[in-house]
Amino acid sequence: MVEEEQKYEVDDAYVLPDLSAVAPAGGRVRALPPVTLVARYLDTVDLRLARAGASLRHRKGDELPWTVKLPTGTPGVRHEISRPGPKGQPPPELVELVTVLHRGASLAPVTVVRTVRHAHEVCDEAGTVLVEVVDDRVRVLDASGTATGAFRELEVELKAGDRELLERAGSVLRGAGARGGSFTPKHVRALGAAAQADPDLVAPAGLPTDPSAGDVVTEAVRKEVRRLLTHDPLVRLRAPAASGDTAVHQMRVACRRLRSDLRTFQPLVRRSWSRPLRDELRWLAGVLGAARDAEVLRERLRRAASADPLSPLDSGAVDRLDEALVARQRVAHAAIDEALRSPRYLALVDALVLAARAPRLTRRAATPAARALPKLVARPWRRLTGPDGVDGLDPSSPDERWHAVRKQGKQARYAVNAVAPAVDRAARRLSRALAGVQDVLGEHQDAAVAADTWLELAAERPADHEVAVTAGRLAERERESVRQMRARFPAAWHRATRRRRTRWLP
């Protein structure tokens, strides 16, 4: 579940204003009886969860007392996951969801927050709760139950309404003297300055005006480490990414891009540091690969099956093919779960956090980016354009040859993407054009793999004649897509290799 809310600071003399102006026409405001909430928050000794904007708590009286809240990148918007369990024993599933934050460090109670809550529900004409406004009087308790602090705050949480209603409620509260409208969780306020210190994972900060090559390396590493670790809990939950893509895909892309960046920037980073990291990222990408392949194939199956309404396929046979893919996906997800629970993965997470903090750079990294980086990109570009790349490719080349060029193209594109912000406008144009090339080559590869897969699945069911016929027809459609992509490739490649896009390369 995604929770979206805003918080406002008020003093004891504050009088909650009339909220009827927030309700839509025909709606009403419903006041609920006051309740007392006692929440015990767990964290590491150095407050790794709180500093990262996350929390793990047990709240007495809730139907699902254990809750993890994870940041989404948008202030006031968090993922909220609740589970049952006894007070002194957090559910292992929730502890795993914050693995990339605690990184194996012990979790223990760090603060207790006792809240007396007066809630008001803003409802529409049908009685649906659109926004909830709560007036919380909070006491902070130590381990013995002694109060160590107190504050009062207002919280506006979006329910079935829209953001405009959330802002309208905030405007009414501010008009009566409430302050803020930002977001600081209760336990962070309770824990004080230590909980508001910088998180362990250093975020991308943008490049300086005249960046060095090392600045570009550091920014690229931080960007992909952040992407990888942000999607870890979503992969465990089987939840979609914020982009609408799958979390498995985003996590795998982060592995591949980071490996590619470390390879591109090889002269700028210490090999003894980067090589083991690349090896571990290759392992993780491989683990994620089977699940991603199943995702792609299931999507293609339905799309290819419905591609020609005038020539429908046997729906039962399509369903049975999908069932086989679901079985593969289930096995792949189990392998991911096992890997993410392993000491090997925990060690990789630690290494990635350290990498984002301070990549191990060589002396050459101090060279101005505009002078050093084009030479580094030229190497994967020459491989892509040379006789073992596009120059040696023709429409009759086997699928494997086209796939090899696709991998070379991906390496070149990742390299251009990494340096484009520090080089020149032509690099950004080349990056966009290479994305078009990759779209063609990616569709080619997916279609080729799908065609082989449909025939492979049919071979596993030799007595199912409907599946055999359906798989054959699906394979024909996929091979037609392969032919179309080969026909489209020259134009996409021509656009990418225009001089105005490549002139910056040595």
d(CA 166, CA 75): 14
Lowest mean pLDDT among 92-96, 141-145, 316-320, 486-490: 141-145
Q: What is the mean pLDDT of residues 111-128?
A: 96
Q: What is the pTM of this model?
A: 0.92
The rounded distance, in Å, linking the Cα atoms of 311 and 298 is: 20
What's residue 416's pLDDT? 94
Average pLDDT of the residues in 204-213: 94
pLDDT band at 75 (very low <50, low <70, confident <90, very high): confident
Average pLDDT, the chain: 94
Q: How do residues 179-194 score in pLDDT, each as one tens digit?
A: 986 678 999 999 999 9
Question: pLDDT of 409-441, one tens digit each?
Answer: 999 999 999 999 888 888 999 999 999 999 999
Query: Could you give the CA distance from residue 252 to residue 46 in angstroms, rounded to a whole number?
Result: 30
Return the residue matching tokens 């359906």: 470
- Provide the pairing of β-strand 147-158 with 66-71: unpaired
Report, as an integer, the average pLDDT of 78-100.
95
pLDDT recorded at residue 383 = 95
SS (H, E, C) 217-243: HHHHHHHHHHHHHHHHHHHHHCCECCC
Distance CA 367, CA 376 (A): 12
Side chain identity at residue 261, one-letter code = D
pLDDT at 99 over 90: yes
| DSSP assignment of 6-42 | EEEE--TT--PPP-TTTSPTT-EEEEPPPEEEEEEEE
pLDDT of 144 strictly over 80: no
Predicted local distance difference test score (pLDDT) of residue 118: 96
Residue 387 pLDDT level (bands cut at 50, 70, 90): very high
pLDDT score, position 180: 82
* Digit-coded pLDDT (tens) for 146-170: 888 999 999 999 999 998 999 999 9
Q: What is the pLDDT of residue 275?
A: 97
Residue-level pLDDT at 181: 63
Q: Which of 365, 362, 372, 448 lies closest to 405, judged by CA?
A: 448
